[in-house]
Structure 1
Amino acid sequence: MSFPRSSVIALALSFWLLAIAAGAQLSYEGSSSIGTALLPELATAFTASSGIAFGEIRATSSNQGFVAARDGKAVLGGLSRLLTKEELDSGLTNRPIGYDALVVYVNGQNPVASLTLGQVKDIFAGTVTNWQAVGGPDLPIVTLVRQGDEGGVMGQFREVVMEGAPLATPAFAFPTHQENIEYVASNPAAITFAALAGDRGLTRVVAIDGILPSLETLSLGQYPLGRPFTLVYRDDPKNADLAKFLDFVFSREGQAIVRKYVLPVLSFD
Structure 2
Amino acid sequence: MKKLTTKIAIIAATLATAISAHAGSITVKGSDTLVILAQKWAEVYMGKHPETKIQVSGGGSGVGFAALQSKQTDIADASRKIKSTEIQACIRAFYKAPREYKVAVDGLSVYVNNDNPVKELSLEQLEGIFTGRIKNWKEVGGNDGPISVYSRENNSGTYEFFKEHVLKGKDFVASAQMAQGTAMLLQGVSKDKGAIGYGGAAYGAGARALGIKKDENSKAIEPNEETVLNQTYPIWRYLYNYVNPALDKGEVASYLSWIRSDEGQKIVKEVGYYPLPANLREK
Pairwise TM-score range, normalised by the shorter structure: 0.7 to 0.9
Aligned to 2:183: 178
Work out which of the residue numbers 221, 240, 250 in structure 2 matches 1:230.
Answer: 240
C-alpha offsets along residues 85-130 of structure 1, whole Å, 9 cap, x if unaligned?
4556752111101111221100111111110111011111111111
Displacement of 1:32 in angstroms is 0.9
Q: Distance in 2 between matches of 1:85 and 1:123?
A: 30
Distance in 1, matches of 2:186 and 2:172, equals 18
Judged with a 3 Å threshold, the aligned counterparts in structure 2 of structure 1 residues 258 and 61 are, in CA distance, closer, same or farther, namely same
Contact 2:130 2:149 (8 Å CA) reproduced = yes
AA partner of residue 262 (structure 1)? Y
User: After superposition, where does 1:20-169 map in structure 2 within 5 Å?
Assistant: 24-35=24-35, 37-87=36-86, 90=91, 91-146=97-152, 148-169=153-174
Q: Does 1:190 align with 2:186?
A: no
* SS, match of residue 60 in structure 1: coil
Residues 171 and 84 of structure 1, relative CA distance in 2, 3 Å threshold: closer
Aligned mates of 2:228, 2:147 — CA distance in 1: 28
Distance in 2 (alpha carbons) for counterparts of 1:265 and 1:52? 28
Determine the structure 2 residue equivalent to 1:11.
Answer: none
| 1:55 aligned counterpart, secondary structure | strand
Contact 1:25–1:75 (8 Å) recurs in 2 = no
Work out the CA distance in 2 between the residues paired with 1:171 and 1:251: 39
How far apart, CA to CA, are the structure 2 residues paired with 1:140 and 1:228? 33
Runs of 4+, deviation exceeding 6 Å: none
Matched residue, 1:263: 274
Q: 3-state DSSP class of the match of 1:34?
A: helix
Cα distance in structure 2, aligned partners of 1:141 and 1:32: 25
Measured after TM superposition, the shift of residue 163 of structure 1 is: 1.0
Q: Distance in 2 between matches of 1:46 and 1:213?
A: 29
Tell me the alpha carbon deviations over residues 223-246 of structure 1, each in whole angstroms, 9 at most, x when there is no partner: 111111110112337841112212
User: How many residue pairs align between the two structures?
Assistant: 243
Alpha-carbon RMSD across the aligned residues, in angstroms, is 2.0
SS in 1 for 2:179: coil
Q: Secondary structure at the match of 2:108?
A: strand
- The two structures have a TM-score, normalised by structure 2, of 0.79
The TM-score with structure 1 as length reference comes to: 0.83
AA paired with 2:224? Answer: S
Aligned partners of 2:32 and 2:182 also within 8 Å:
no
- Identical pairs, percent: 26
Q: 2:216 corresponds to which residue? A: none
